[in-house]
Amino acid sequence: MKSAFVSLIGRPSAGKSTLVNTLCGRKVSIVSPIPQTTRNRIRGIVNRPEGQLVFIDTPGYHSSEKRINLHMKELAENAARESDIILYLTDASRKPGEEEHLLISFLSGLDIPVVLALNKTDLTEDTREIRGLLEESFPSSEILPISALKETGTEELLQALFLRAPEGEQMYPEDFYTDQDPEFRVREIIREKAFARLSQEVPHSLYVDIADMEVQEEDLWIRAFILVERESQKGIVVGKKGAGIREIRIESEKELRDLFPYHVRLDLRVKTDPKWRKKDHLLKRLIQ
Ligand SMILES: Nc1nc2c(ncn2[C@@H]2O[C@H](COP(=O)(O)OP(=O)(O)OP(=O)(O)O)[C@@H](O)[C@H]2O)c(=O)[nH]1
Ligand SMILES: [Mg+2]
């Protein structure tokens, strides 16, 4: 049996979380068009007759001196260092930028096999520039064209990963597809629904906290907060006559009801937590 930890590394919005979900055949990690959606290391487990691959989705690789970005970059780097195989995902629809060069220099310094996947090939035919850069940087690695969204090339990618995976015992029972605790999943689903209806700086300025979760017979009661940095952002999230927060609540409840075997009742409110992105103790708790 084969068994490996595979870290998924790539610039923000390359499609890492979409790919983890496609490979696992279900939603493991939240997705949005906003760069830097993923803030954590998220495990998604794939079981096949060949063995088990444990994927580690990571925050998009991005260089910035902001404290939160430094935490996220370190998290991605540590996930890469601790994995058996690195799956480096690039976005074929964008010109390779500074992030690509930074990543290539980081990955070149590690002694871990790198598998290269070129994502979003449904959007473009011309992949010469990014291919050229990858061929030059990783001369012995094959480049696999895929579309995580349209689910093309992903079986071939799995086969390529199993080929490089070492022999070993499975690390999780076969019916596991992730190891996230329920509270974390709730926070992430609410964050995804909030990201879907907000723009510019507001998504980056929010996090979600759970006050309590309690089962009462058929119901799962969840009391949660969306925390933003400023009063003005609170108004944006709440929306006209509360329409914004209501929509986030309803969308979250829909998905949570599919996830938990209870009738989920969500009490969702908005609060401010000024300068939370500068609080190291909070960042340590939120970004891990
Ligand atoms: N057309 C197309 N869009 C894709 C594909 N894969 C992902 N996307 C879209 O790209 C956007 C970003 O996807 P994510 O999966 O959140 O990207 P990510 O790399 O996890 O982003 P971060 O967590 O911010 O680093 C979303 O709008 C996805 O729907 C693809 O193969 N084709
Ligand atoms: Mg992501």
113 conformational bin, left if phi > 0, alpha if psi -120 to 50, beta if neither: beta
The pTM for the full model equals 0.97
**What average pLDDT does the segment 205-228 reach?**
97
Distance CA 205, CA 271 (A): 12
CATH superfamily name and code, 2-164: P-loop containing nucleotide triphosphate hydrolases (3.40.50.300)
**Res 81: pLDDT:** 98
Q: Which residue among 7, 8, 13 has the greatest number of ligand 1 atoms within 8 angstroms of its CB, and so is best to mutate?
A: 13
- Round the average pLDDT of the chain to a whole number and report it: 97
Q: Is 21 in the pocket of ligand 1 (CB under 6 A)?
A: no
Question: Which ranges of the chain does DSSP label H, i.e. alpha helix?
Answer: 16-24, 67-81, 98-108, 128-137, 154-164, 182-197, 231-238, 243-259, 280-286
Q: Is 52 in the pocket of ligand 1 (CB under 6 A)?
A: no
Task: State the CB neighbour count (10 A cutoff) for residue 125.
Answer: 7
**What average pLDDT does the segment 227-250 reach?**
97
**Res 158: pLDDT:** 98
pLDDT band at 230 (very low <50, low <70, confident <90, very high): very high
Pick the CATH number of 182-286 from 2.40.50.140, 3.30.300.20, 3.40.50.980, 2.40.30.170: 3.30.300.20
Q: Which residue among 75, 90, 149, 287 has the greatest number of ligand 1 atoms within 8 angstroms of its CB, and so is best to mutate?
A: 149
**Res 187: pLDDT:** 98
Q: Are 15 and 119 in contact (CB under 8 A)?
A: yes
Q: Is 60 in the pocket of ligand 1 (CB under 6 A)?
A: yes
Q: Which residue's CA is the closest to the ligand 1 atom numbered 21? A: 13
pLDDT band at 43 (very low <50, low <70, confident <90, very high): very high
pLDDT 10s digits, 156-203: 999 999 999 999 999 999 999 999 999 999 999 999 999 999 999 999
**Res 272: pLDDT:** 98
Question: How far is it between the farthest Cα atoms of the chain?
Answer: 60
State which residues have CB under 5 angstroms from ligand 2, the bound ion: 16-17, 37-38
Q: Is 122 in the pocket of ligand 1 (CB under 6 A)?
A: yes
Q: Is 22 in the pocket of ligand 1 (CB under 6 A)?
A: no
**What average pLDDT does the segment 256-281 reach?**
96
Q: Which residue among 18, 36, 57, 61 has the greatest number of ligand 1 atoms within 8 angstroms of its CB, and so is best to mutate?
A: 18
Quote the percentage of the chain above a pLDDT of 70. Answer: 100
**What average pLDDT does the segment 99-110 reach?**
96
Closest atom, ligand 1, to C-alpha of 36: 24
Q: Is 117 in the pocket of ligand 1 (CB under 6 A)?
A: no
**What average pLDDT does the segment 116-126 reach?**
96
Distance CA 261, CA 270 (A): 27
pLDDT 10s digits, 46-89: 999 999 999 999 999 999 999 999 999 999 999 999 999 999 99
* Residue given tokens 């990955």 in the structure block: 107
Would you kindly state where each structural domain of the chain is located, as residue ranges?
Answer: 2-164, 182-286
